[in-house]
Amino acid sequence: MKIKNKKDIGFGIFGILFSAWIMYYSICILPDAKNMNDPGPRLFPLIGAVIMFICSVIVLIKPEPVKLDKDGKPKRFLTKKQWVSAAVMFGMYILTAVLYYLIGFTATVPIMLFIITYLMSKQTYPDMPTKKRIIKALIFAVIAGALIYCAYILGLQARLPKGIIWKMLK
C-alpha cells in the first residue's frame, strides 16, 4: 500500500505524541487540586489533550486525499499570503504572552480580542470599510472581554496574571 498523503500521517503521529506528552505532564507534574470541589490545574490540559488525541487518530485513520492542481501536481501546502497570515497569527500569540507578563490578564484579553478580530475581519470581509471593521472589532472586544472577565474573575474566582507594570504601581 502506497501512502498518498504523508503530511497527514506526520501530523497525526505528531498530534498523538504531543497529546501523550501533555497528558503525562498534566498527571505527573501539575499539582493536585487544593480543595475537594476544585477540579485543579489538571482538568483543562487533560481535556485539550484528549480532544487532540481523538483528532490525531481520525487524521491517521482517514487522511485527506491529495489535492491536485490543473497540471496534475500536488497543490502547495500554503501560499505565500497564507504563510504571512500564519506568521502574523503566531506573532499575536507571542504578543499575548508578552502582554500577560507586562499588563496582566484583565487588560490583555480585550486588547488581543480587538487586534485578532480586526485582522480576521480584514480576511473575511475585505470590502468592508476600515472604520466599520474597527467599530465592530471594538464592540466585540469589549463585550467578549467583559464576559471572559465575569466568567474567570467573578464566576470561577480565578487568580490570573496581574502583570509586572500593575505590581510596580502599587
Q: Quick one: what percent of the chain has pLDDT higher than 70? A: 89
Q: Domain count of the chain?
A: 2
Q: Confirm whether 117 is domain-assigned.
A: yes
Same domain for 57 and 84, yes or no, is no
Q: Confirm whether 68 is domain-assigned.
A: no
Q: Which domain holds residue 12?
A: 6-61
Answer with the residue of higher pLDDT: 30 or 23: 23
Find cell 498530534 and name the residue: 15
Exposure of 161 by Cβ count < 10 A (0-12 exposed, 13-18 middle, 19+ buried)?
middle
pLDDT tens per residue, range 39-48: 777 788 889 9
Answer with the residue of higher pLDDT: 16 or 63: 16
Cell representation of residue 5? 498523503
Q: Confirm whether 163 is domain-assigned.
A: yes
Q: Confirm whether 84 is domain-assigned.
A: yes
Q: Confirm whether 70 is domain-assigned.
A: no
* Angstrom distance (rounded) from CA 50 to CA 79: 31
Same domain for 153 and 101, yes or no, is yes
Handedness of CA 47, 48, 51, 52 (dihedral sign): negative
Residue 9 has pLDDT above 60, yes or no: yes
Same domain for 57 and 85, yes or no, is no
pLDDT tens per residue, range 83-109: 888 898 899 999 988 988 888 888 888
* Angstrom distance (rounded) from CA 143 to CA 156: 18
